[in-house]
Chain A
Amino acid sequence: MNQKLLEVKNIYKSFGKIQALNNVDFYLYKGKIHGLLGENGAGKSSLMNILSGIYQPESGSIHIDGKRVKKLNPDIAARFGIGMVHQEFRLINNFSIKDNLTLSKSNIYTDNFQEAFEKYSDIFTLSRDSSTPIKELSIGEKQKIEIMKLIFNNNKIMLLDEPTSVLTPQETNQLKLSLQKLSNEDNKAIVLITHKLKEIQEFTQSIFVLKDGVMVAKNLNTQNVTKNDLITLMMGEIKESKISKNNRKGRNKLEVESIFFENIHSNVPTLKNISLKIKAGEILGIAGVSGNGQVELANIISGIERNYKGKVIVNGKNISNQGVRARKNLNLSYIPENRLGVGLAPGVSIIDNSAIKDYFKSRLGPHLSSNKMLDYLNLLIKQFSIKAPDPKADVSTLSGGNMQKLLMGRELISNPEVIIAAQPTRGLDINAVEALQKLIIKQRDSGSAIMLISEDLDELFKLSDRIIVLYEGQIVKEFNIDEADIENVGLAMAGSNE
């Protein structure tokens, strides 16, 4: 076996109370494509940021070419030839391709630029003149320039963070061929970070799997593992659900009929023919990797997004053409995924934030009664045991759990008919998660129709009565909870349709 080009051992990294990386080992070989697999929040990006010198680990050692490196910062990492392509492109839009490629001081093709550019244009099947400004390129072409930038900067180790998330299937296939050429002909060590199983199986020779900050599998030979193995590794075993599913369901409270939605900025269809029904006292789980249309669907049902085709019906009443305010009046609650920034306004006081859903109930003509608002906040604080220091304090000073309790309390206190809850427990500690899940169940039992959007399969299995899987804006699978298993849901989330 050839020598390890880069090796990190026993890496620990935490952010506040969250242990992002827990005793992680990772290593790379020349001329190989490695896959790093893991769910969102498993620690993939933290590990890559350590390799490229952006984060400093709390402990652990880093070896490059067998020699120990004391400290890695972006400068030193670049000197050792470690380069990364981030999910958000870091190109200068007004500069030409050539300027972007030769911008860095470590670039090696200054004199023979044209020759090198032609060679790699060929490998990447890029047919552009090097004087073209970046802003004229398509997303796929920009991606190619980002990867070429690593080559021009003489990077031997190339870290690619979710490179295919912005590409079409054809472009993805093209990228695969280009990367294979780079690893074979130029002997580059490539790391592909992804949560798409299909790609990891097609692209790589060796697979590492991260789960909750722990490296659960190292250097697996891609040919010897199956999709199901990988899913089990990535998602873990599902804990036995402790919540009774003997809830009585009533009539349909929320009906969505053949929704089509196209993002006006990209003209890419983000939702295709979505129809679903949720009964009173029922929780419908929406599974899917983020970015597959969940946010758009929630925005359409809550009335924020008005530019769509299809019908939204609450309690038999067609509300497709009504705005946010009218839907709130029908007692529809939306707990958005982005709690600070959408659900709560940062820089604004706790008391102001607590009234966002019902403030017009504290009004008397143009007058807003601050006493009523304060009573309302105190009721929320009491009923949902929120720890809030001072009603006038900025809402951003609350802890994540208390923020979410304030947001959910505000949305649930009116005993809503329909609840859309997106990622209600993400990023919270275990106690807050328990408390918030209990609230959802309580609301189910008092007869709300609940749509639960979550990436956390544990949570979906624990709370839902049915699960729908969204993939690329379509409902690809629907399961009753007693017939759903994690493997099938996981496969459907990864876009596998057998």
Chain B
Amino acid sequence: MNNYLLSKKIVINDFSTFYSFLIGLSIGITIGSIILLVQGQNPIEVFSLMLRLSIGSINSISSSLNKAIPLILAGLGISIINSVKLWNIGAEGQIFMGGIVLNFIYISYEISNPNLSIIVLLLSAFIGGAICILLPALAKVIFGVNEIITTLLFNYIIIGFTVYLVNGPWKDPNSLNFPAATYVGKEVYLPVVFGKLSYGFIICLLCTVGVHYLKEKSVFGYELRISGGSALTAIYAGINAKQKTFIAMLIGGGLAGLAGGIELLSQTHRVSTGLSQGFGYTAIIVAAITGMRPLGIFLVGSLFGALTIGGTVIQTMGVSSYIADVIQATTLFGALISQFFFTYKIKRVIENV
């Protein structure tokens, strides 16, 4: 009888995540090409158009990076929560909640200095995201409730809440019956760095460096790693694992909320159901592909932003924009499978009785 035994490799190549991303990406592009061929399109033509329209000019590059901001920030939030081996599936809801709390502060308080106002509003977006994950975090550390379920379900609650707000109390009377809140004033729009690129990107860069530091170089990150490895070891080491987990979850939710705030102040300028276009879910893909590494999230998030822009513009050729989604999803699939082969070796065992 032949059996196969899986064993973890002792030394895992430092670049294995990067290699498996490349392998995954080529699988994604291959499958995307096959679908395009079946549809009677020339994949080379489609892809080169996508490239040109997503990174071919300053304007297109800045659009792509703008799209990348929410992916990266929400991805960083997922990554920091995953330090304790927990999954935040609720980034989508946290993005909306960031926008909602921002708008609430905006309409409730008047701050004359626009720069100060922007800072306060972005902080309130961060707090909004943290509020959104507060109950799942409490349920996790007090009762051990599975955070995957609770964070996921909160998406539906928050999106329902958004629909209520934009059809009810916050509905803009001038929106021609389109369900959306009133626009925020131009004075709190995020300024641009160049082209269309908003200052959100600078915040995003700082957050990437910050999360990288927090996860890899700080005492807090260390304590999260030990707590994630074994709760009993954490108790043995005198680490308050529940407290650290709670804080990590709030920071993670806050980062997704901040993504919602930046999106509102730089792109949509108002709360509507279109505030996030599935960024919170795509961010899970981004974080998973990179093995939760902050710098990787930054790079892959940028690439996925470009893919999304490219996907939108090829619609003019009569190609469905879903081709970008297909590539993103198959890239994740391919990357996870190849990551498996980088992590484990498979041995054939011959058993003789």
**CB within 8 Å of B: which residues of A?**
56-58, 71, 302-304, 323-325, 328, 334, 336, 338, 341-348, 352, 355-357, 359-360, 363, 366-368, 370, 389-390, 393-394, 396-397
Contacts and interface: CB of A to CB of B under 8 A. Distances in A.
Given A352-B222, A368-B218, 18 more contacts: A58-B352, A302-B236, A324-B235, A336-B236, A342-B230, A345-B225, A345-B226, A346-B229, A348-B225, A357-B237, A359-B219, A359-B222, A360-B219, A363-B219, A367-B218, A368-B219, A393-B10, A397-B8
Interface string B5-42: 00010111000000000000000000000000000000
Interface residues of B, number: 26
Contacts of B10: 389-390, 393, 397
A304 B351 contact: no
A394 B232 contact: no
A341 B218 contact: no
Contacts of A397: 8, 10
A20 to B, nearest CB: 16
Interface string B333-353: 000000000000000000111
B186 interface: no
B250 to A, nearest CB: 17
Interface of B: 8, 10-12, 85, 217-222, 225-226, 228-230, 232-238, 351-353
A343 B226 CA distance: 11
A323 B233 contact: no
Nearest to A369: B217
Contact of A342 (B85, B220, B221, B232): B232
Contacts of B11: 389-390, 393
A453 to B, nearest CB: 15
A74 to B, nearest CB: 15
Contacts of A389: 10-11
A357 B233 CA distance: 11
A368 B226 contact: no
A370 B219 CA distance: 10
Residue of A302, A356, A363, A389 most packed against chain B (CB within 10 A): A356
A341 B236 CA distance: 10
Residue of A57, A324, A368 most packed against chain B (CB within 10 A): A368
Q: Which 5 A-B pairs have the closest CB atoms?
A: A345-B229, A324-B238, A348-B229, A325-B238, A345-B233
Contacts of B217: 367-368, 370
Contacts of B85: 347
A291 B219 CA distance: 36
Nearest to B220: A366
Contacts of A344: 233
B238 A328 contact: yes
B218 A366 contact: yes
B222 A368 contact: yes
B233 A343 contact: yes
A108 B64 CA distance: 70
Contacts of A325: 238
Contacts of A359: 219, 222
Nearest to B353: A56
B233 A352 contact: no
Nearest to B229: A345
A304 B226 contact: no
